[in-house]
């Protein structure tokens, strides 16, 4: 069960001014489909929370009573297998909803990778609001369609691509997933660990590290820090992701 923390005084002040209107993630979320007047209904049922890196947002097997809109930071979504192994199924960022497509209990867990802010909604109240707001319902359907396409891309990634192609594809796709974070063109922020990337890509941490090193040696990328890199040859990285760069493949 999540504990809702007391809102700081400045945040509480913004709350009275309809925080939905000033939310930086609104443009990238389904909430952006609502006019300012309609946002009042959403604002009225939202509970806002701040969570620290490593804290649990959703625990697999718990009653699925809430849905969440991430407004800043990043989250890892994973499932635990019966033998205790973990499979990361996705990373979520500002504007992403989590908890919508689930039954009576959560079928997965979600944890903060870094400090996050979220809006939490009781599922019954949220679905009641959707029935009153056709624009919100249409936006959720559109989001679900994109998530289905992303799931199909992930199946292709795991089923047909080589280790190098998986790592290159991940580096290409990641910046577009986190639209609220200010980035320099061709720079990639890796908020997740190498172990989490490996888990998501179905590889070992040694393989991920080795493929990053090979891309760096080939001059395709340059590490700026442990969590930041620059893509010096974007077109070549895309060629690697699509299996068209034979020179990089032989390294």
Domains and CATH numbers, the chain: 9-141 (2.60.120.10), 161-250 (1.10.10.10)
In the predicted model, is pLDDT for residue 8 greater than 70?
no
Residue 160 pLDDT class (50, 70, 90 cuts): confident
pLDDT in tens, 68-101: 989 999 999 999 888 888 889 889 998 888 887 6
Residue 135 pLDDT class (50, 70, 90 cuts): confident
Residue 31's closest CA among 73, 70, 76, 74? 70
CA 135 to chain centre: 23
pLDDT in tens, 11-62: 433 444 556 767 767 777 777 767 776 777 788 888 999 999 999 999 999 9
| pTM, full prediction | 0.79
């Amino acid at each position: 069960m999540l504990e809702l923390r007391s809102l700081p005084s400045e945040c509480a002040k913004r709350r009275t001014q309809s925080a939905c209107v000033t939310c930086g993630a609104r443009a990238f979320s389904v909430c952006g489909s609502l006019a300012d007047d309609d946002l009042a209904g959403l604002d009225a049922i939202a509970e806002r929370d701040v969570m620290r890196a490593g804290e649990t947002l959703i625990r697999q097997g718990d009653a699925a009573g809430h849905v969440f809109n991430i407004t800043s930071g990043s989250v890892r979504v994973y499932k635990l297998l019966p033998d205790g192994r973990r499979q990361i199924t996705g990373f979520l960022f500002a504007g992403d909803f989590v908890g919508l497509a689930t039954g009576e209990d959560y079928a997965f867990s979600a944890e903060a990778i870094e400090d996050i802010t979220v809006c939490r909604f009781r599922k019954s109240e949220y679905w009641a609001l959707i029935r009153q707001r056709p624009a919100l319902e249409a936006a959720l359907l559109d989001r679900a369609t994109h998530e289905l396409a992303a799931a199909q891309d992930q199946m292709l990634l795991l089923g047909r691509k080589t280790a190098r192609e998986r790592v290159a594809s991940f580096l290409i796709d990641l910046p577009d997933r986190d639209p609220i974070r200010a980035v320099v063109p061709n720079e990639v922020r890796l908020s997740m660990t190498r172990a989490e990337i490996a888990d998501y890509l179905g590889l070992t941490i040694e393989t991920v590290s080795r493929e990053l090193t090979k891309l760096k040696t080939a001059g395709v990328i340059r590490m700026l820090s442990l969590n930041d890199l620059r893509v010096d040859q974007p077109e070549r990285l895309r060629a690697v992701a699509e299996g068209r760069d034979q020179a990089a493949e032989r390294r």
